[in-house]
A and B are shown apart, each in its own frame.
Chain A
Amino acid sequence: MDKIPLPAIIREPAGTWGRIFLLSGIVGILAGMAAAGLEFGLHVGVENIIGRFTHVSGAGVLSFNKWILLLPAAGGVIAGLLIGWLCPQGRLHGTNQLIHAFHQNSGNLALRDPAVKAVAAVGIISFGGSAGPEGPIAALGAAIGSSVARGLNLSPQLRRVLLVSGCAGGVGAIFQCPLGGALFATSVLYREPEMEAESIVPAFVSSVLSYSTFMAFWGFGHYLIEPPTRLVFSTPLELVPYTLLGLLCAGLAILLSVTIRFVERRPLRLFALPRWAFAGLGGLAVGCIGCLLPQIMDAQYHFIQNAVSGRLFALPETAGRSPWEWVALFGLVAAAKCIASALTVGTSGAGGLLGPSVFIGGAAGAFLGALLNALLPGVFPEQLRESLIAVGMAGVLSAAMRTPMAAVVMVMEMTGSYGLIVPLMLVCVIAYVVGRRWGLNSTQVQSASDSPVHVGDALVHLLKNVRVQDVMTRNWPHVITPFTTLGEMICSIPSGSRPVFIVLENSRLAGVVSVSDISRAISEPGISELVIASDIMTAQVTTIRPHQPLYEVLALFRSANHNVLPVVSEDDDRQFLGVLSRQAIYQAVRSRSEEMRDHLHREHAGIATIEQDEQLYQLALCAQTPRPDTIQRIPVPPEVVGKSIRETDFRRHYGAQIISVQNADGTMQCPPDVNAPLKSDQVLLAILADSIPVNAGPDSGKSAD
């Protein structure tokens, strides 16, 4: 059976999307494998190093042990040496790296820095450091995406899409939250709750495949945190403690942010210590805290899991502990985790703060639950205490990463608590609004409009939405046959124009003869009858199709170096339909820009006022008495009528800089269109050089008003 060809209008977008899906899927699988490997390293490392000396998931405190004191310092020194040796310039860590790469580095993120830091993170956590593997895996996933894009020599736009997809894959896998990972990766780029729309779908694909890959290693059918019962929001009265939780989460996010800023900036400046020594000292301080509260060394949420499930309260060592002692424990753990995480990450540069944010939030929820239980015993149901922990995990994350929407979804997926959406929304919004100023990602930009990536979005959007068929010229006058002589071509060139001749043989495109081809032939006199179009034409022509967006076509104009490109049929690349000129694109952009400007004036009266003021200023200038060194009004000299300002080169010939052109109807072109032909009824507003008289130009004497 014959294959039915798909129309190009379906085939090409399907091809584009298919390619993006395929690449983001590959990036997702690689990120999922990296996350699984990292998780494996953590399991082995934690169990065999720090896990031998303390129980980070228990409720015990004040367990002094020289290993607990010294191991984090050793981990800090090792991580500091590793990072100092292999990525000495890598100042940014975790999510900051990928955000910087997205906005400032065209999506370029080399694999080495994130890979080294991921290994260092595994090391430092295994030695008892208080850091998370989630930030490094997010950066590593992003670096995988960027590397795949660079390996395939993709555009910066696709590089950024794969960078974000990689991050989504990493976060979606390590937190076991595919949707949350995609939302996180697309929203962590901005301080405002915005998303990188272009990357959402590829991020979904990547996150789905990375999650599936990760779970294939670690087993399906469980959540990161398993509550003992199905957690739900059951009464509006619960909004009161949740409101308090939102404020508490914001406060802890601020504490975390202030601490890490202090650690990263002040001591380094004061002592100018090498990184490894500084990391060692940081590790020693973490060891001290760990002797008091070993829970801060937990990077795998075992302590939070035990708190949610209630196992913590049933441990033998906690028998007889009063409610207020629990309040103190959870409160101290939350605060100490802030300080310990800042010390670990801030001094070594290894590990991330994404995981600690979740941990601190969980501890904050446990603190509030314990506090309510201590103040009003028996009033609140057990389920609220569990819910507060789950919801708290989202609260600090929301403020610290400035990703409220992603935090809501992430925690729902991490805990399977879809019934908590209302308190999650409330807590995340409160924490975000109160604490966002102290967010941890210094490289985030306010919103998409502040990102260098989105400069000119309006123009790009316009060029992507206008198609060749909308602006092409169908009846191109400069069509010749391969047998047209050079002399005939020269005779048919209208005065002042630089046409491109389309060569058609039996109505099919045979080639093009550009102005430079003709110029080359003209410079050799005596051959006007000896040379025909087929002798000088370019047969390998860059052609375009009617449905192509102008955005795609502009790149072809650049590579073909022609002002005009032939438009051919969708299915037959020799069936000539018309031409598209650069000028037509320019006109389309200009006309759409004017529409946008009118819309802008309707929406924002102030902007219209500014433009009116500018027009009035120009008119005032026109009314002034002419002086040789000021702006003068000059009627368009007859010898330049029909030529553009650019062709005429006013500055050289007349010593005049044209700043505006007044049309016959009184409207002003300011700045003037330097490519538009000048008309005899126009008036030029020009700045004249002091030393050059007005009539310095050729055939002048009539140029001054």
Chain B
Amino acid sequence: MGRSVSNVLISQNLSPETIELARRVDTAEDAIKLLSARLAPLLPVDRTAIERAVISRERARTTALPNGAAIPHCRLPGLRRFGCALLVLAAPVRWDHEGHCVDVVLMIVGPAENVSDHLRILANSSRLLDSPTLRARLKTAPGPAQAHELITAAERAIESRRQETGTAHDSGDRLHSRADDYLAEVANRFNW
């Protein structure tokens, strides 16, 4: 039996207001501060609380992926909902001491109590940003609304595939390794 579609998706917690395209920042910390400022009024929560938690988490272990994306994330006590913010950089920035350079940043902030949905959103984020075609399309997106549409479509495809392939243990890795195949198809539909 397939898994049901989650009620907590990136696309539901991401909005054109929390998407920044073709921005220039000097450091990873600047990127985190920028996204925190976008998320804070929507959640609502103090901006510095998000900044502190995300930077602290990054110092513990980097969330940069080898493919040029980073998924900084944290769980905050007292939060009632999830918040996602996307930053596509005009030029890559050095993200950590390990030497990762990053040009796509998807930040996730969630309630401290809800680990399951947090992991679900992280998994979807990892799958989305693992697709080179999708990352390339995001970098050329004409505006935040179009970028949001692309992510919504891609996440829908991920959830559909999750349902088709049954249990996550048996099929999850297979699904992930072949993510680019079907996400590339989705991304190619957005030809701007």
Binding site for B on A (CB under 8 A): 482-483, 485, 517, 520-527, 529-532, 534-536
Contact = CB atoms under 8 A, between A and B. Distances in A.
B119 A536 contact: yes
A521 B126 CA distance: 13
Interface stretch (B35-43, B84-92, B165-173): B165-173
B168 A524 contact: yes
19 contacts: A483-B61, A517-B115, A522-B169, A523-B168, A523-B172, A524-B120, A524-B168, A525-B172, A526-B123, A526-B127, A529-B65, A530-B63, A530-B122, A531-B122, A532-B60, A534-B57, A535-B73, A535-B75, A536-B119
B169 A532 contact: no
B60 A525 contact: no
Nearest to A486: B119
Given A527-B123, A530-B63, A532-B60, A520 B116 contact: yes
B60 A527 contact: no
A522 B65 CA distance: 18
Given A535-B57, A536-B119, 7 more contacts: A526-B126, A527-B126, A529-B65, A530-B63, A530-B122, A532-B60, A532-B61
Contact of A520 (B57, B71, B119, B176): B119
Interface of B: 57, 60-61, 63, 65, 71, 73, 75, 115-116, 118-120, 122-123, 126-127, 130, 168-169, 172-173, 175-176
B119 A525 contact: no
Given A483-B60, A524-B123, A525-B176, A535 B118 contact: yes
Nearest to B123: A524
A482 B59 CA distance: 11
Contact of A527 (B115, B116, B122): B122
Nearest to B168: A523
B108 to A, nearest CB: 10
Query: Taking each of B57, B75, B126, B168, which has the highest tally of chain A beta carbons within 10 Å of its own beta carbon?
Result: B126
A520 B176 CA distance: 17
A530 B71 contact: yes
A531 B57 contact: no
B60 A534 contact: yes
Contacts of A522: 169
Q: Please provide the 5 A-B residue pairs with the shortest distance between their CB atoms, ordered closest to farther.
A: A525-B172, A524-B123, A526-B126, A523-B168, A526-B176
Contacts of B61: 483, 485, 532
A531 B130 CA distance: 16
Given A526-B127, A530-B71, A530-B126, A521 B60 contact: no
A255 B71 CA distance: 89
Contacts of B168: 523-525
Contacts of B126: 526-527, 530
A527 B172 CA distance: 11
A527 B173 contact: no
Contact of B119 (A482, A483, A485, A521): A521
A599 B140 CA distance: 82
Contacts of B173: 525-526
A260 to B, nearest CB: 62
Contacts of A525: 123, 168, 172-173, 175-176
Query: Taking each of A522, A523, A530, A534, which has the highest tally of chain B beta carbons within 10 Å of its own beta carbon?
Result: A530
Contacts of A529: 65
B107 to A, nearest CB: 13
A524 B119 CA distance: 7
B100 to A, nearest CB: 12
Query: Taking each of B65, B115, B173, B176, which has the highest tally of chain A beta carbons within 10 Å of its own beta carbon?
Result: B115
A485 B60 CA distance: 10
Given A483-B61, A485-B61, A532-B61, A524 B122 contact: yes
A531 B119 contact: yes
A485 B118 CA distance: 16
Contacts of A521: 119
Contacts of A523: 168-169, 172
Contacts of B127: 526
A525 B176 CA distance: 7
A510 B40 CA distance: 28
A521 B119 CA distance: 6
Contacts of A482: 60
Nearest to B74: A535
Contacts of B73: 535
Query: Taking each of B61, B75, B115, B169, which has the highest tally of chain A beta carbons within 10 Å of its own beta carbon?
Result: B61
A536 B115 contact: yes
Contacts of B122: 524, 527, 530-531
B40 to A, nearest CB: 21
B119 A526 contact: no
A520 to B, nearest CB: 6
Contacts of B116: 520
Contacts of B123: 524-527
Contacts of B175: 525
A482 B57 CA distance: 10
A357 B80 CA distance: 69
B20 to A, nearest CB: 22
Nearest to A524: B123
A595 to B, nearest CB: 44
Contacts of B65: 529-530
B130 A527 contact: no
A524 B120 CA distance: 6
Contacts of A527: 119, 122-123, 126
A33 to B, nearest CB: 48
A534 B59 CA distance: 12
Nearest to A485: B61
A482 B60 CA distance: 8
A520 B115 contact: yes
Nearest to A522: B169
Contacts of A485: 61
Contacts of B120: 524
Nearest to B70: A530
B41 to A, nearest CB: 25
Contacts of B118: 535
Nearest to B172: A525
Contacts of A535: 57, 73, 75, 115, 118
A705 B127 CA distance: 51
B19 to A, nearest CB: 21
A485 B122 CA distance: 14
A403 to B, nearest CB: 56
A534 B53 CA distance: 12
Contacts of A536: 115, 119
B166 to A, nearest CB: 12
A522 B170 CA distance: 11
A531 B115 CA distance: 11
A530 B106 CA distance: 13
Contacts of B119: 520-521, 524, 527, 531, 536
A536 B60 CA distance: 14
Nearest to A529: B65
Nearest to B120: A524
Contacts of B115: 517, 520, 535-536
Nearest to A505: B60
